[in-house]
């Protein structure tokens, strides 16, 4: 109960430390002055030993203690309390040494209040003390020593970045990533009308296009748009493409891309982005910008739109000549390996809107002898031979993760609701050379030379997860094409 009463005072602790230290120093200086200069004679004659008044005394001998002084000026001396002055001086020196040691060991920033640190931080060099100041603020955030107003200021700095750490860059992640984690923990348990949580619902998407350096001209370019997770739970984010500048996309591919709308679930899940298909592109260096519209909706406020806007994602890739054909490979050992990779089958996440995902373990293909093998697969959950969920996925063997990716799945959700482990449901896995080409690009100068060309079909295993377990972060909805004019 007492701790709850003291909680509002915690953000004032650094300021109170400063004020307390300053008050202590002033008090010790005053004590020294008072001990040495305050008790002056002001014209009264006093014995310099017992300080008895001698105005009525005759001569220079004290009638109280008998001290005989030689000069009249000795009776007008200032009374000095050397013991008190020494104690005050020792306390002041000890406090100064403590301050010096604290600054040397912990840093001067530990003595400044939050507002002062936030004010001086933009003026500090990117390295050195600036990193220590950010760490100090992160520590105060984690311990609840930052006020709501200062939290909002920190959120603005996270959102805007700075000249040395542009938003979304590695430097930004190193600079502000710790703040973001601490702020996210702060608003994760906040009420719906908490100012910090409301500010977090209006954050724009933080995106980075995950593109390979090169891509063949005869393969459809599928890239993953990585989206940073920094919204509170209960916030849904919707995104759609409004245009692509500088990259000569085919009209049909651009129209299909514009027909897609990606929706971020109301809670954090697996994965941090979604795949986008740009179609085949002409040979040569391609530089351009992807433009997307976004909006945030808050379930705690009745699915109300909290913010919306436009954002741009730079794209840069070199389109090379046609891909070199891969040699197909299929044998008993490879088929056994693929069965092991997909032996977990399909996951179903319960809830008002169930989600489905294939579970596969690509780490089983990390053997060095598979480094030249590209895996491009069509994975399907089939009901009586009819595909109800189709996923195109690709990766490189030998432990290479740079070229792993997937297409947005195609799902028949009403039929998937009936999926079970009866003989009617099977898992079909088929190798595809065109998909495997997406993982065949050179890594460290070595391209893939073969792909798994086999096909297997096994009974479908279905594992149900509770709704409390994370599902996919993003889902895809395809809008019907616009009617011809």
pLDDT on residue 274: 84
pLDDT on residue 408: 76
pLDDT on residue 102: 58
Q: Does the structure show a pLDDT above 90 at 231?
A: no
The backbone torsions φ and ψ at residue 335, rounded to the nearest 5 degrees and listed phi first, read -65, -40
Q: How is the chain split into domains, by residue range?
A: 2-110, 130-189, 207-320, 327-473
Q: Does the structure show a pLDDT above 80 at 33?
A: yes
pLDDT on residue 11: 47
pLDDT in tens, 318-372: 998 888 899 999 999 999 999 999 999 999 988 777 888 899 999 999 999 999 9
Q: With 0.75 as the threshold, say if the pTM is over it.
A: no
pLDDT on residue 136: 80
The predicted model gives 193-211 an average pLDDT of 88
What's the rounded Cα separation, in Å, for the pair 319 and 250? 15
The backbone torsions φ and ψ at residue 426, rounded to the nearest 5 degrees and listed phi first, read -135, 160
Element (H, E) at 199: helix 195-201
The two three-digit tokens of residue 291, written as one number: 């433009």
Residues contacting residue 116 through CB under 8 Å, at least 6 positions apart: none
pLDDT confidence band for 36 (50 / 70 / 90): confident
Q: Does the structure show a pLDDT above 90 at 78?
A: no
223 vs 111 pLDDT, higher one: 223
Share of the chain above pLDDT 90, in %: 34
pLDDT in tens, 95-132: 777 766 655 555 555 667 778 778 877 777 666 566 77
pLDDT on residue 101: 60
pLDDT on residue 485: 43
Q: Does the structure show a pLDDT above 70 at 423?
A: yes
345 vs 37 pLDDT, higher one: 345
Dihedral angle computed from the Cα positions of residues 303, 308, 310 and 316, in that order, rounded to the nearest 10 degrees? -40
375 vs 126 pLDDT, higher one: 375
Dihedral angle computed from the Cα positions of residues 225, 451, 411 and 465, in that order, rounded to the nearest 10 degrees? -80
31-45, 241-255, 427-441, 463-477: which range is least confident on average? 463-477
Q: Does the structure show a pLDDT above 50 at 4?
A: no
Average pLDDT, the chain: 83
Q: Does the structure show a pLDDT above 80 at 310?
A: yes
CATH number for domain 207-320, candidates 3.40.960, 3.30.1360, 2.60.40, 2.40.50:
2.60.40
The predicted model gives 140-166 an average pLDDT of 83
Share of the chain above pLDDT 70, in %: 87
Contact 276, 225 (CB under 8 A): yes
What's the rounded Cα separation, in Å, for the pair 248 and 157? 36
pLDDT on residue 481: 52
Residues contacting residue 358 through CB under 8 Å, at least 6 positions apart: 342, 345, 346, 347, 379, 381, 389, 391, 393, 427
Range ranked top by mean pLDDT from 42-51, 101-110, 261-270: 42-51
């Amino acid at each position: 109960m007492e701790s709850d009463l003291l909680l509002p005072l915690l953000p004032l602790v650094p300021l109170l430390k400063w004020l307390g230290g300053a008050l202590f120093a002033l008090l010790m200086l005053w004590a020294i002055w008072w001990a040495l200069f305050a008790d002056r004679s002001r014209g009264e004659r006093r014995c310099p030993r017992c300080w008895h008044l001698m105005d009525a005394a005759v001569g220079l001998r004290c009638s109280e203690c008998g001290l005989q002084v030689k000069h009249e000026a000795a009776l007008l001396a200032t009374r000095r309390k050397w013991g008190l002055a020494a104690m005050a001086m020792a306390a002041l020196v000890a406090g100064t040494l403590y301050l010096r040691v604290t600054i040397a060991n912990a840093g001067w920033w530990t003595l400044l209040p939050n507002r002062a640190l936030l004010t001086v931080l933009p003026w500090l060099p990117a390295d050195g003390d600036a990193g220590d100041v950010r760490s100090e603020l992160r520590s105060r955030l984690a311990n609840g020593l930052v006020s709501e107003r200062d939290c909002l200021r920190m959120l603005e700095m996270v959102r805007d970045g700075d000249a040395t750490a542009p938003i979304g860059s590695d430097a930004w992640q190193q600079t502000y990533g710790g703040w973001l984690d601490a702020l996210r923990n702060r608003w994760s348990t906040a009420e719906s009308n908490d100012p910090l949580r409301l500010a977090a619902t209006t954050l724009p998407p933080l995106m980075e296009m995950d593109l390979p350096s090169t891509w063949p001209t005869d393969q459809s370019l599928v890239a993953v748009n990585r989206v940073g997770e920094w919204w509170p739970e209960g916030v849904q984010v919707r995104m759609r493409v409004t245009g692509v500048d500088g990259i000569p996309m085919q009209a049909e591919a651009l129209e299909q891309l514009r027909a897609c709308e990606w929706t971020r679930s109301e809670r954090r899940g697996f994965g941090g982005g979604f795949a986008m298909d740009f179609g085949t592109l002409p040979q040569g260096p391609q530089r351009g910008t992807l433009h997307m519209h976004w909006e945030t909706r808050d379930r705690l406020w009745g699915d109300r739109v909290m913010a919306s806007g436009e954002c741009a994602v730079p794209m840069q890739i070199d389109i090379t000549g046609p891909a070199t054909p891969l040699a197909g490979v299929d044998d008993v050992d490879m088929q056994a390996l693929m069965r092991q990779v997909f032996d977990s089958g399909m996951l179903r996440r319960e809830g008002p809107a169930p989600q489905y995902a294939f579970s596969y373990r690509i780490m089983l293909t990390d053997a060095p002898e598979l480094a030249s093998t590209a895996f491009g697969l069509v994975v399907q959950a089939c009901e009586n031979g009819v595909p109800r969920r189709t996923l195109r996925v690709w990766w490189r063997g030998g432990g290479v993760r740079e070229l792993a990716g997937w297409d947005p799945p195609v799902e028949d959700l009403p039929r998937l609701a009936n999926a079970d482990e009866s003989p009617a449901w099977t898992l079909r896995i088929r190798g595809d050379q065109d998909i495997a080409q997406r993982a065949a690009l050179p890594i460290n100068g070595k391209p893939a030379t073969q792909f798994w060309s086999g096909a297997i079909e096994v009974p479908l295993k279905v594992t149900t997860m509770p709704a409390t377990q994370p599902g996919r972060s993003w889902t895809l909805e395809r809008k019907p094409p616009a009617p011809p004019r």
